[in-house]
Amino acid sequence: MGKTQGKVEVINNFYMPELDRYRTLRIYLPPNYDESDTRYPVLYMHDAQNLFHKETSTFGEIWDVKNALDEIYEKYKVSIIVVGIDNGESFRYAEYSPWNSKIGGEYLPHAKATGNLGGDGFEYLEFLVNTLKPYIDSNYKTLKGRENTGICGSSMGGLISICGGIKYQDIFSKIAAFSSAIYFCEEKFMKFLEDTGKNKNMKIYLDVGTDETSDKENKDFPKIYMDCNERTRDKLKEIGFDKELYYLLDEGGRHSEVSWRKRFPKMIEFLFC
């Protein structure tokens, strides 16, 4: 008998009124979703092109979220809905940072060329909280409360996930940030954490690899990533998130979907099991 499988639905041209842009959504629904009256926790994830299908992947590799969650269901009988939001390509840096940056853009030269290097992050989060979440809660069998709502991403997606979780502690109770590109706007990010502080209990998964780079020419990136994520861990503890925080240093982990795929089940176990 084969493994019980979930499915992925795609919604094209979903309007983002806060940014006056359109985006594709890729939504994982757990095994037996259609037959069950169960309501499910929801994890909102960024860079959805890279979550499920190689054909849509930016770099040819994927997180393989569907298979990972199908296996977690088989092992733990734990089911969640994942709502993946495609990145905006040239708008990716703009939407994944609330603050403009004079650095970064090393993987997306067209973003650098257009000047879209941060500044739309809070509007993107407003879209997620004020437009997308109400739509998902109205059209899918979700558990709507903060205790069953998480936000997750990698690299710049990790940065905006921490910002979103901390800014909207009344909406989210779970944050997952893989290989977060905190260096992109670290000074303003740290001040934001200090100014906002801890308002509610949360579970926070934070990780980084020891070989964080997808750019062989930049030998400094592994240390840059490890250092800024370590400082983020320390700052989160300083503002009150101590026992709720899980920090993983992945020996040999790279800045790639392959490494994030390997660590994904550990994150789900910590946040949802």
Predicted confidence (pLDDT) per residue in 61-92, tens digit: 899 999 999 999 999 999 999 999 999 998 99
Whichever domain contains 96, its CATH number is 3.40.50.1820
Q: How far is CA 101 from CA 90, 98, 105, 129, 171, in A?
A: 15, 10, 9, 24, 27
Q: Quick count: other Cβ atoms within 10 Å of Cβ 22?
A: 12
**Number of domains present in the structure of the chain:** 1
Low-confidence ranges of the chain (pLDDT < 50): 1, 105, 107-108, 110
**245 in a domain, yes or no?**
yes
Q: For residue 150, what pLDDT is reported?
A: 98
**75 in a domain, yes or no?**
yes
CA distance 126 to 70: 31
> Residue 41: helix, strand or coil by DSSP?
coil
Residues 221 and 255 sit within 8 Å (Cβ to Cβ): yes
| pTM of the entire predicted model | 0.94
Q: How far is CA 245 from CA 123, 180, 207, 209, 242, in A?
A: 27, 15, 10, 17, 6
**176 in a domain, yes or no?**
yes
**2 in a domain, yes or no?**
no
Token pair recorded at residue 74: 């088989």
DSSP 3-state percent helix, strand, coil across the chain (nearest 5):
40, 20, 35
**17 in a domain, yes or no?**
yes
Q: For residue 108, what pLDDT is reported?
A: 47
Q: For residue 219, what pLDDT is reported?
A: 72
Name the H helices within 81-185: 92-95, 109-114, 121-126, 133-139, 156-167
Beta strands, E only, 63-123: 81-85
Given the structure tokens 């650095």, which residue do they identify? 103
**1 in a domain, yes or no?**
no
In what helix (H) or strand (E) does residue 271 lie, and over which residues does it extend? helix 257-272
Token pair recorded at residue 239: 């503002």
* Full domain range(s) for residue 180: 7-272
Token pair recorded at residue 184: 């992109």
- Identify the DSSP state of 4: P
Residues 162 and 177 sit within 8 Å (Cβ to Cβ): yes
**54 in a domain, yes or no?**
yes
Q: For residue 100, what pLDDT is reported?
A: 87
CA distance 149 to 39: 12
**182 in a domain, yes or no?**
yes
